[in-house]
Every structure is written in structure tokens, then in C-alpha cells.
Amino acid sequence: MSNWRPRRLTARARLTLSYAFFVVVAGTFTLAIIYLSMRFIPDYPLTASNPRESSAVASRQDILDAMLKASGYAVLALLAIGLVGGWLIAGRVLQPLRDITRAAHRAAAGSLEHRIALHGRRDEFTDLSDAFDHMLERLQQSFESQQRFAANASHELRTPLAITHTMLDVAAADPAGQNYPRLVSRLRETNQRGIEIVDALLDLANLGHTTPDTEPLDLAATTADALALVGEEAGRRGVALHSRRDPAPVTGNPVLLRQLTVNLLHNAIRHNLPADGSISVTTGPDPHDRLRSLLSVTNTGRRLPDTVDTLTEPFLRGEGRTAAAGDGHRGHGLGLSIVASIVNVHRGDLRLTPHAEGGLTVQVSLPTC
């Protein structure tokens, strides 16, 4: 479909013609009133005050004819003033719009860091400028986030493939000196990690484009199921689990909310203290909103920066983008990203609060039934 459009006068030209037309019409109307008013002046014979003077005195008709001629010149002068003044005024009025247009062209060319930052009194143009700047900021953040996501996803998926390639090369170089049961076990673990990353990426993609089926349920029961699933790993890592499960009715998808709770608990276990760590899990009414229920997970651990909101970005972990090596299951940095997506599809709120002494509190507030 063609985007061709017939060429029209520019907005500045149309405004200029409008200003000039208004000035000419107003001036013509004023002169017409004066001219018509002059016609009501009595047509007395006019003579010189001194009879001996013979100078001619203009009659009323002569005065009207002269006024009509002068009015024609005045209208032409008003037309010229309207065109010049209208052109200058229209240019000044439309200057913010040209700034916004230039910013839009720069954004279309890929330059998202530019901001209009229009100054002056608040009006329609400043509102449009602020809205456009806000849109550019959101686009820049989204674009940068997508770039980080693509780079980090490539790195994460490359890692298990590179490890598998290295182990196979070593085995091929020295077939006789290999412990094949151990090699198979390591290959299976590496392959499982790649599968988990792909599954998590698919979960993120599906959460962004589907609306889950919901039903009334209790977060307390969901949390009890999640605690049973992570109990063995918590015991293996020496992390004590404490819970207080008051009724917390919500409307949500039971599978997704169980996954949300399990992800929060896994995150709290794997980013805890090396020894004698603890996790506190509570459910109940949200004290800030009686129409919401609250799930809170608090864990001990190392100190975190104030910018903990970035932990919900894919592949970001407490230690940074790359998880530290250690015993047990190694996370892939998608747990809190999936949690944030699940909270969004349930129209909830996700709050992350770091502790001065170390550790993190994650609160999920969801609408009640």
C-alpha cells in the first residue's frame, strides 16, 4: 500500500494565511463601519469662512471618495502586515513542534539518547515534549534491556555447549584414560542446565503473550507446597526455613503462583549465607491494602546494593551476571525475571528491599478474590 500523499501547504504557511486573512477581514470590517457612518453626515453646502477667499472646499462625496481610496491602501497595508507578522508569529509558535519532529527523526535513525527538554511555561507543546521525552526514555531502557538480554542469553547458552565440547574433545583425545560413567554424568548435568535455561526463556516468552486461567486459591496452601519442594535443598545447604502462613486468598493461576513461590525460595536458598543461614516466609493480608494479600520471603545473606530492582532483569544475580562457582545447583539468573512476569500477569506488585546487615526481603502483593 502506497504512503504517497498530495503535497499541501505547510502548517506555517496555513497559519500565516489565516492570520493575514483575519487581519484583513477585521480591518475591512472596521473601515466599512467608518465609511457607512460617514454617509449619515448631513450633506450641507460647504463654503469658506471668508467669502473673499475662493479656495474650493471638499464636499461630503469628495471626502467619502478619498476615504474609500485610502481604505483600499490601508487594506493592502494590513495584508502585508498580516503576512509578515503571521509568518514570524507562526514560526515562533511552531518552533517546539519542529524540535519534536527533529527528535522523532533522530529516534527513527536509532539515536534514543536525545531529549527535547522543552523549557518555558506549561502548555500543549511542553506536555507533548515531556510525553515524547518519557517515551524516548522508556524506549531506550527497553532497547538496552533487550540488547543485554540477547548478549547474556547468548553467553548463558554458549557456556554449557562449550563445556560439552571441551569434555568431548578431552575424551576423544584420550579414550582409554576416561572415566566414562563420570563423563556421562557430567554431560547429563551440563545438558540439563541448557534445557533449564531454554525452558525458562520459553516461560518468559509465554508469560508476555498469554493470559493465564485463574481461580480462587490461598497463597498459604501454595506456599506450603513450595516449602515441601525446596526443603531437601535447604537442609543440604544448612538453611533454616521458618514460616507463618495466615490465610491469603487471591485469584490466580495455581501453577504459575506455585512456580513464583518456588523461584523465590530457590533464590533465597542459593543466595544465602555459606552456613547457618535462614529464610522467613509469611503469608497474610497486605497491611497497606486490605483488598490485597501478601507473600513475603526474607533471607539472610551478603549485603546487596540499593539498586536491587535490576535483579529482575534476565541473567542478573546477586553476584552480578555470572554466578559464583560452588557446590549444589547453579542458578541461571532467570528466577526473579520469571517472578516479575508472573506478578505482572496477575496485576500484582513486586517489592525488593535489601537489608543493611545483608540479605533481601521480597514481597509479592496480589489482588484478593
Looking at residue 183, its pLDDT comes to 87
Of 4-8, 62-66, 343-347, the poorest mean pLDDT is in 4-8
- Three cell numbers, residue 68: 474609500
pLDDT at 323 over 60: no
Instruction: Identify the architecture of domain 215-367 in CATH.
Output: 2-Layer Sandwich (3.30)
Task: Tell me what the mean pLDDT of segment 155-183 comes to.
Answer: 83
Of 56-70, 87-101, 109-123, 214-228, the poorest mean pLDDT is in 56-70
Angular region, 73: left φ>0, alpha ψ -120 to 50, beta rest: alpha
Considering only residues 111 and 316, tell me which one the structure prediction assigns the higher pLDDT: 111
Burial code of 248-275, b = ≥16 C-beta within 10 A, e = fewer? bebebbeebbbbbbbbbbbbbbbbbbee
Question: pTM (2 decimals)?
Answer: 0.54
Considering only residues 218 and 49, tell me which one the structure prediction assigns the higher pLDDT: 218
Residue with C-alpha cell 496480589? 366
User: How is the chain split into domains, by residue range?
Assistant: 11-45+56-108, 148-207, 215-367
Looking at residue 151, its pLDDT comes to 66
pLDDT at 320 over 50: no
pLDDT at 22 over 70: yes
Helix (H) or strand (E) holding 367: strand 360-367
- What would the pLDDT profile of 185-195 be if each residue is shown by its tens digit? 888 888 887 78
Q: How confident is the model at residue 326 (pLDDT cuts 50, 70, 90)?
A: very low
Looking at residue 251, its pLDDT comes to 92
Q: Answer positive or negative: Cα dihedral of 123, 126, 132, 137.
A: negative
Mean pLDDT of the chain: 80
Task: Tell me what the mean pLDDT of segment 168-178 comes to.
Answer: 86
Q: How confident is the model at residue 177 (pLDDT cuts 50, 70, 90)?
A: confident
Considering only residues 147 and 269, tell me which one the structure prediction assigns the higher pLDDT: 269
Looking at residue 324, its pLDDT comes to 43
What gap in Å lies between CA 356 and CA 335, rounded to an integer?
A: 23
Tell me the C-alpha to C-alpha distance, in Å, between residue 209 and each of 4, 138, 344, 345, 364. 34, 20, 12, 10, 21
Q: How confident is the model at residue 43 (pLDDT cuts 50, 70, 90)?
A: low
- What would the pLDDT profile of 195-231 be if each residue is shown by its tens digit? 877 776 676 666 666 677 889 999 999 999 999 989 9
What gap in Å lies between CA 2 and CA 23, rounded to an integer?
A: 40
Highest mean pLDDT among 146-155, 207-216, 334-343: 334-343
Cβ atoms < 10 Å from Cβ of 181: 8
Looking at residue 98, its pLDDT comes to 82
Considering only residues 179 and 203, tell me which one the structure prediction assigns the higher pLDDT: 179
Q: Answer positive or negative: Cα dihedral of 199, 203, 204, 205.
A: positive
- What would the pLDDT profile of 255-295 be if each residue is shown by its tens digit? 889 889 988 998 899 889 988 899 999 999 999 898 999 99
pLDDT at 46 over 90: no
